[in-house]
Amino acid sequence: MCSTRQRSCQYEAEQGESRQKALKRKHDHLEASHNELSDFVTCLARQDNSTVLDVMRKVRTGGDIGDLLQSLRSRTASRGTSIDSGRREKQILLLSNLMQGTDALPEIMHFLEAFVNDMLWTREFYEIDLDLLRNRLFNVRTLGRIIACSVPIHQISSPSTVHKSSLRQSTRQTMVLDESLDTPLVMLPAAPWTRITEDDLLVSRLVTIFLNYQNAYWRYVEADLFLQAMKLAQPPSDLCSPLLVNSVLAMASLSAEYRDVFFEADDYTSRGRQFHEEAMRLWASLRGKDKLGEEDMDSLVQAALNLREKLYDWYEGLSSDLKYDLRLPAFLHEIHCEYLCVRMTLASNLGARLQSQSSPSEPRSRGHHNAVEADVEHFQAAYWTSEAGDLALRAAKLLENYRSLHGLKFVLPFIFQTATTASFILLGHAPTENGRRSPDDRLHSIEAIEEPTSGLEESLRCLLGIATQVSIARGAALMLLKTAKIMKVKLPDSIMHLPQTVAEIAWGIKNDRSLSSSYPNYALVAAGGGRPEGLTMEELLNKWSNLSV
């Protein structure tokens, strides 16, 4: 063709490569690219309109054709075990409900052994209306009855007065909202706060969700001041910024089902990803620009001791109706988990910082203004790592109590955070010699799981349960399992069988490609600002991709 057009044909040859091999390599590359594009067009033609529009939007923004083709194939390809798409969808729904339920690990493992060997499927799939599993909490015993018998699900799990058709109708109408009941608190402008959408109504609805749900518990912003500043739409403002607004919209999207909050159609874990990515872009442009003073280990340890004392006094001073009890509602369970999570993070981070010091630090002269004076042992990394492990065992017990009572259908932020933090700490925690507990022995009112292996088993069980519906939990679970591989920590078989089954049946292929987060390395900042190279969740998972889980 080049000779026909009277053009010189040049192929860049690698060192030691003949021209003939260079021609063949170029030909193979062009053929592979052509086949990939042809397969992409063929696969795209089989998708529904919403998927086609979503894929083309990604192509316009520079999406990789190979990644998009693999994503499309994963939607339609038949499983190697000859499970048709309808059967797989039902299996995913069943497994997700199982992992979000109240059962402990042994009961789940027994169920899964029968599940993966098709020992439970005595009924035809079309007879089982598994859509009725949505928004309900089930255990192994109930799921077994649903699969094996002919009793309708609503007769097993709900009062007999509930009629099947009405349940189906309510399920199908979850995306359909009554406009009159969905009026935002106040109409707010999308511009100039976000460039992701120009829909003022969507932005106003999402801000309303944020203020009614997330902000009601955590008080991120003062609602009246935030709304006033956002409505004025006059940046820069001390009370509102594009970073804050996009973060608010991303958080609110996790509790919304508007079509425009889905980054990928029908994928609930993708809700709000577009706002999250915009917030991360803005955050990276600002982070690391603060000027912090030189680190002083003596001041750092003293500050940690003072903070620990304040935390302890606050926790011991809780009123009787807030003190820990198995009968507490879910959000009060979370308060106790949050407390332990803060204590674990304080102890483990300080222990790691002390361990990284080239020479051991010692206390200086004691000051009368300090609530607690630092002793020599407080400057030893082992003191804080031991305390972190002791707190993690207590956190694992709280997770066990929460899971057995409330299940994991509804994911509260600090239930996930506690499961992640405790899992990573217990991964490297060994029992103390002679059974000695950590020096801080003032939390014995909180029961602890005695064995680190049992504590790790429970915290990871909860993390994997959350991972069936929250994308970042999947990434955290994968990071933990691959960290164990790198550390050469041999996990018990009971722990290893579960993630393999969950990943095979529920997570699909290459789910880590959709992850983009600094979690759990929030504290790391690159020298020039922004996120550090090679230490984000997606970069670490990509780096460890050759490690089997």
Residue 301, domain member (yes or no) = no
Q: Are residues 460 and 528 in the same domain?
A: yes
The mean predicted confidence, pLDDT, of the chain is: 73
pLDDT reading at 250 higher than 80: yes
**With contact defined as beta carbons under 8 Å apart, do 363 and 440 qualify?**
no
Q: Among the listed ranges 52-56, 85-89, 158-162, which one has the minimum average pLDDT value?
A: 158-162
| pLDDT at site 358 | 52
Q: Are residues 414 and 449 in the same domain?
A: yes
Q: Are residues 395 and 422 in the same domain?
A: yes
pLDDT band at 222 (very low <50, low <70, confident <90, very high): very high
pLDDT over 70, % of the chain: 63
Instruction: Compute the Cα dihedral for 331, 336, 340, 343 and give only its sign.
Output: positive
List Cα–Cα distances, 401 to 298, 448, 494, 495, in angstroms: 38, 11, 20, 19
323 Rama sector, left if φ>0, alpha if ψ -120 to 50, beta otherwise:
beta
Q: Among the listed ranges 26-35, 377-386, 415-424, which one has the minimum average pLDDT value?
A: 26-35
Q: Are residues 212 and 72 in the same domain?
A: no
Q: Are residues 207 and 248 in the same domain?
A: yes
Q: Are residues 392 and 503 in the same domain?
A: yes
Q: Are residues 60 and 96 in the same domain?
A: no
Q: Is 442 exposed, middle or buried (0-12, 13-18, 19+ CB in 10 A)?
A: exposed
pLDDT reading at 228 higher than 50: yes
pLDDT reading at 80 higher than 50: no
Q: Among the listed ranges 31-40, 64-73, 88-97, 462-471, which one has the minimum average pLDDT value?
A: 88-97
pTM of the model: 0.56
pLDDT reading at 350 higher than 80: yes
pLDDT reading at 266 higher than 80: no
Q: How far apart are CA 155 and CA 427, in angstroms?
A: 43
Q: How far apart are CA 527 and CA 538, in angstroms?
A: 20
Q: How many CA atoms lie within 13 A of 80 on its CB side?
A: 4
Residue 281's CB: how many other CB atoms inside 10 A? 13
Choose the most confident range, by mean pLDDT, from 162-166, 459-463, 506-510. Answer: 459-463
From 125, 160, 195, the end of a domain falls on 160
Q: Among the listed ranges 390-404, 418-432, 489-503, which one has the minimum average pLDDT value?
A: 489-503
pLDDT reading at 230 higher than 90: yes
Q: How far apart are CA 101 and CA 111, in angstroms?
A: 13
| pLDDT at site 211 | 92
59-74 pLDDT, tens digit per residue, is: 778 777 777 777 777 6
Q: Are residues 444 and 521 in the same domain?
A: yes
pLDDT reading at 135 higher than 70: no
Q: Which residue has the higher pLDDT, 315 or 5?
A: 315
Q: How far apart are CA 412 and CA 402, in angstroms?
A: 11
List Cα–Cα distances, 455 to 139, 265, 451, 458, 503, in angstroms: 22, 38, 6, 5, 22
pLDDT reading at 259 higher than 60: yes
Residue 221, domain member (yes or no) = yes
Task: Give the pair of three-digit tokens for residue 408.
Answer: 């994991």
Q: How far apart are CA 395 and CA 399, in angstroms?
A: 6
Task: Give the pair of three-digit tokens for residue 335.
Answer: 């308060």
Q: Which residue has the higher pLDDT, 420 or 48?
A: 420
The b/e string for 164-181 (b: 16+ C-beta within 10 A; e otherwise) is eeebeeeeeeeeeeeeee
Q: How far apart are CA 471 and CA 460, in angstroms?
A: 15
Q: Please name the residue ranges forming H helices in 149-222.
A: 153-157, 164-172, 200-212, 214-218
Find where tokens 């674990």 sit: 344
Q: How far apart are CA 233 and CA 3, in angstroms?
A: 62
Residue 137, domain member (yes or no) = yes
Q: Are residues 481 and 338 in the same domain?
A: yes
pLDDT band at 293 (very low <50, low <70, confident <90, very high): very low
From 28, 52, 76, the end of a domain falls on 76
- In sequence order, which residues have a C-beta less than 8 Å from that of residue 276 and are 6 or more positions away? 246, 247, 250, 516
pLDDT reading at 189 higher than 90: yes
pLDDT over 90, % of the chain: 17
Q: Are residues 472 and 538 in the same domain?
A: yes
Choose the most confident range, by mean pLDDT, from 60-69, 102-111, 175-184, 382-391. Answer: 382-391
pLDDT band at 56 (very low <50, low <70, confident <90, very high): confident
Choose the most confident range, by mean pLDDT, from 15-29, 39-53, 187-201, 209-223. Answer: 187-201
Residue 174, domain member (yes or no) = no
Residue 197, domain member (yes or no) = yes
Residue 112, domain member (yes or no) = yes
438-493 pLDDT, tens digit per residue, is: 445 455 467 888 888 889 889 988 888 888 777 778 878 878 887 888 888 877 77
Find where tokens 């932020």 sit: 413
pLDDT band at 200 (very low <50, low <70, confident <90, very high): very high
pLDDT band at 277 (very low <50, low <70, confident <90, very high): very high
Which residues form the domain of 493?
A: 328-349+384-543
Q: Which residue has the higher pLDDT, 213 or 402?
A: 402
Residue 268, domain member (yes or no) = yes
Mean pLDDT of 212-232: 89
Task: Give the pair of three-digit tokens for residue 55.
Answer: 């894929």
pLDDT reading at 194 higher than 90: yes
Q: How many structural domains does the chain have?
A: 4
pLDDT reading at 370 higher than 70: no
Residue 189, domain member (yes or no) = yes
Q: Are residues 238 and 267 in the same domain?
A: yes
Mean pLDDT of 358-382: 62
Q: Which residue has the higher pLDDT, 184 or 226?
A: 226
| pLDDT at site 169 | 40
| pLDDT at site 84 | 56
Q: Are residues 443 and 502 in the same domain?
A: yes
511-537 pLDDT, tens digit per residue, is: 545 555 555 554 444 444 445 555 566
| pLDDT at site 419 | 93
Give counts: helices (H), strands (E), the chain.
21, 0
Q: How far apart are CA 447 and CA 399, in angstroms?
A: 11
Q: Among the listed ranges 19-33, 242-256, 534-548, which one has the minimum average pLDDT value?
A: 534-548
